[in-house]
Structure 1
């Protein structure tokens, strides 16, 4: 945003919406077990979300501490993730679904999504190779589509390898410039990590 020629964009504040799984996972559960009325881990999406304000990067890139930025963001997300707000949000969504129906719940979620600039979500994927119709799956990723954010980042692990997928709003974010910014950020973090070690 700071690299654009638009003064409006370079001065905007951004908020990330972090989606968190609130499902109680105590091991593998079959679908038959999950659809029971008193299931410990019921079938369906069980999630909450939290808003994280994205700090603005100094205009002097050389003086910034990229690893400090990452550690600060991680600390903030862990603190917010363990707050009651995530579970209250999950209960609110479940209450809306039960008493007002899925359409009202979907409208509430969409209105929350509209008030954020980006979404970050991840899944813990299978540790063993999967197959579809006896065809082995070499790799996989997922993407949340049709959301009103300008930027969506999703991550999934599969057989010990992490896949990161990034979606940008068409005609709003230049994909090549964004890729270049991501590459620069990773290089800054790598350089800072090498200097520490």
Structure 2
């Protein structure tokens, strides 16, 4: 059974292949690897937590963010391939990643670096930004960032004004593409941020993602009807 993360990464894999096939200025090798970094929430209990519970001794809860990182590779394929193959490959890979300790170890390594060395390490008279450089190197060796956050399941209001959607993104990352998806009241909304010098037509990339989802839906309906 596929879950939303499987579908999300499947449509991203298919959409990227379609976009590169149509808009790449150079011929691409079949099976070209494109690697993304996915943020993973490592908190034992998801959602908002009461401040009083966080302040209790030995509560098991911690202040601030607690997330790790997983590297998710996808591969370029020319048109004509079965769209559901992207979904199947995405599910297989993500299932394996969930069983691994990759996200946990990435968090522990980052925590150790910040705890022991700090954001900057003093070498003689100079400060060496070790932790910052570590994160920067990881980002520079991947192509995109992706995250999926479960938001409120019911609609709510702020100061009497109904909230229609929740969107989030981040900037100043050394990535070609940054994608954040947040669900709200049964709907999922994905924000796409691109480096314009690498992807000059972000609206076409978004259209490729949309078409990829529709292709998967149509292929699944054909199998179900047969």
TM-score, length-scaled by structure 1:
0.85
| 8 Å CA contact retained: 2:192, 2:206 | no
| Equivalent position of 2:38 in the other structure | 18
Query: Structure 2 matches for 1:72-151, cutoff 5 A?
Result: 72-102=89-119, 104-151=130-177
For the residue of structure 1 that corresponds to 2:73, the secondary structure is strand
- Structure 1: runs of 5+ lacking an equivalent: none
Shift of 1:27: 6.5
Distance 1:5 1:85 in 2: 32
| Equivalent position of 2:204 in the other structure | 177
Q: 1:135-170, CA deviations, whole angstroms, 9 ceiling, x for partnerless residues?
A: 332211111221111111111111222111111111
**Count of aligned residue pairs for this structure pair:** 193
Distance 2:186 2:113 in 1: 37
Distance 1:102-1:38 versus aligned 2 partners, 3 A rule: farther
| 8 Å CA contact retained: 1:31, 1:43 | no
TM-score, length-scaled by structure 2:
0.75
| Equivalent position of 2:6 in the other structure | none
1:7 corresponds to which of 23, 26, 30: 26
- Structure 2: runs of 5+ lacking an equivalent: 1-19, 121-129
